[in-house]
Amino acid sequence: MRRPALYSSSLRSPASGEPVLDGERPEAQAAPAPESAPAPAVADTAGTPPASRLHRGLRLARRGVTPALLLCALTLGGLGLWRPVPPRLTQDEVDAAVKHTLERVVLPSSAARAAAKVGPAVVRVTAYGKEDRRKNGKYKEKEPGEIERGIGTGVVIVDKGVILTNLHVVAGADHIRVTFFDGLESAASVTGVQPEQDLAVLQAHQIPDDLEAATLRSTADLRPGDEVVAIGFPFGIGPSVSSGVVSGLKRGFVSPEGKTQLRNLIQFDAAANPGNSGGPLVTMDGEVVGIVTAILNPTQSRTFLGIGFAVPIENAAAAAGMPPF
């Protein structure tokens, strides 16, 4: 059966050409006034008979529109169109608001933000080995059990547990263990070395589920005076953070024993001590530009005097078989 067509309220009566309201039948319209009594140009609502007003009200009610609803719609529509214009702030008012906020809120330093960004990728590296013990002035045979031979630092460069550190931290170790930021401790194996840069690559046997690798950054735009952060485990304490600046580039260093000669190093003055070896040298963006490898101290104390050295990350990444920048 065919469904009747639906029409909008804009249809016109074929007889009069006037709009026909929904639900209003054409035959229900008033008959044209006699010629002897033409309709006035302006309708006199005061003189409209009550029956006509009632008829109009019924027609509006039939369409679901009441004067109260119509008034509400007009009021809400007016409110929707009206939007208060916020006052425009002057530059002095903006500056005063910023100054007020800075006086009340203590923001973290750039060094703290950099350390927080790279922190989850920093690990403690511990080398273990056996020891010859003396008894009555003579050496005994090696006893079972191993002791801690050295502590250093490493940085995760691949989230599968690939770690960069210094070769002198793990050289001669019988086994190596790394401790991640969440406290997880795992055995690790040496998978690559670069003796000329004092670098070693480790692979952790177990890693945290949410392990993050550090972001590496080229040293091409590094300049003396740039702020840097050194993170590590000096004397086993850490992770510890120290900040300073790049003091120079393309420096050379010869180990006190004369066994190692390193070139093309980054010189920095952020505090570093034994245990920082293998840790990251980080920019204020939290990106690694070098691996801390040595400190210069002409005395026998082996403590920091203000000059530290780091291997540029380009060399360090090459030791891990990563493509250059």
Residue 198 annotated to the active site = yes
Catalytic pick among 186, 242, 243, 277: 277
The Cα-based distances of 92 to 26, 88, 97, 98, 318 in angstroms read 69, 12, 9, 10, 53
Residue 277 annotated to the active site = yes
What is the C-alpha separation between 45 and 30, in angstroms, rounded? 16
Catalytic pick among 186, 198, 240, 243: 198
What is the residue-wise DSSP string for 80-147? HH--PPPPPPPHHHHHHHHHHHHHH--PPPHHHHHHHHHGGGEEEEEEEE----EETTEEPPPPSS-E
Catalytic pick among 168, 186, 240, 243: 168
Locus of tokens 């933000």 = 113
Quote the distance between the C-alpha of residue 214 and its chain's center. 13
Residues whose CB falls within 8 Å of the CB of residue 112, separated by 6 or more in sequence, listed in order: 241
Burial class (CB in 10 A: 0-12, 13-18, 19+), 212: middle
Q: Catalytic site residues?
A: 168, 198, 277
